[in-house]
Amino acid sequence: MTEAKRESDSYQVTESSPNLCSAPALSAIPEMESLAETELTWSPPRINHQPLPPQSVTMAPAASARGRKAQKVTKKFVINASQPVSDKIFDISAFEKFLHDRIKVEGRVGNLGDKVVISQSGEGKVEVVAHIPFSGRYLKYLTKKYLKKQQLRDWIRVVSTSKGVYELRFFNVASEEADEDEE
């Protein structure tokens, strides 16, 4: 047996006897007769392992205590539930307690501390002040969860009126009934 090696490929081609070829279709084509008599085996490519030249590694300077402080993030959110509270179907103090019990800080419930402050402000408004990165969508989610628990989700919806302000509104049932009467 003789071996033919290609520099560009990582395959080694070795010629073998015609008895080892079990593909009669390859021997039927004149150009493929030479392939029918060879056996392909794979070998890993040859890599030139030369050591890399030494390089100086520079790292970013570590933040020092006397350097800049991390910016304190303070976000204020207001949930305005004055409309359902005035109709006496929504208990604002129970909602505030629900938020105290359910808001997660650093992955734990009941871990508010000084990082998140929940308070009532005015008639039917709950104010949430967060000194950590906090999402308003999370408050909307918890509000919807409270409405579902109180079985009010079918009549009240949560709408964002402006950035950081969410309002509880009744679904507009009167206009839907007027549309049904006209038909």
170 pLDDT exceeds 90?
yes
Look at residue 17 in the predicted model and tell me its pLDDT: 47
- Domain locations in the chain as residue ranges: 3-42, 75-171
Measured CA to CA, the distance from residue 6 to residue 11 in angstroms comes to: 7
76 pLDDT exceeds 70?
yes
**Model's pTM, two decimal places?**
0.57
Look at residue 172 in the predicted model and tell me its pLDDT: 82
Look at residue 2 in the predicted model and tell me its pLDDT: 46
Angstrom CA distances, 81 to 25, 117, 128, 169, 175, stand at 81, 18, 14, 8, 22
Residue 40, token pair as written in the block: 């392909």
**Residue range 86-113: mean pLDDT, rounded:** 93
Higher pLDDT, 174 or 135: 135
Least confident of 122-126, 139-143, 175-179: 175-179
Nearest to 76 by CA among 168, 163, 170, 176: 163
- Which residue pairs from 95-102 have beta carbons closer than 8 angstroms and sit at least 24 positions apart in sequence? 95/126, 95/143, 95/146, 96/120, 96/126, 98/142, 98/146, 98/149, 99/126, 99/128, 99/139, 99/142, 99/146, 102/142, 102/145
pLDDT band at 101 (very low <50, low <70, confident <90, very high): very high
Q: Order the strands of the 11-15 sheet from edge to edge.
A: 3-5, 11-15, 38-42
pLDDT band at 43 (very low <50, low <70, confident <90, very high): confident
Percentage, residues of the chain above pLDDT 70: 62
Over the stretch 141-156, which tens digit does the pLDDT of each residue have?
Answer: 999 999 999 999 999 9
Average model confidence (pLDDT) across the chain: 78
Highest CATH level, class, for 75-171: alpha beta
Number of residues in the chain: 183
Higher pLDDT, 94 or 31: 94
Residue 182, token pair as written in the block: 């006209």
Output b/e per residue, 115-154; b: 16+ Cβ within 10 A.
ebebeeeeebbbbbebeeebebeebbebbeebbeeeebee
89 pLDDT exceeds 80?
yes
Look at residue 8 in the predicted model and tell me its pLDDT: 47
Higher pLDDT, 125 or 181: 125
Angstrom CA distances, 180 to 58, 154, 156, 170, stand at 73, 19, 21, 19
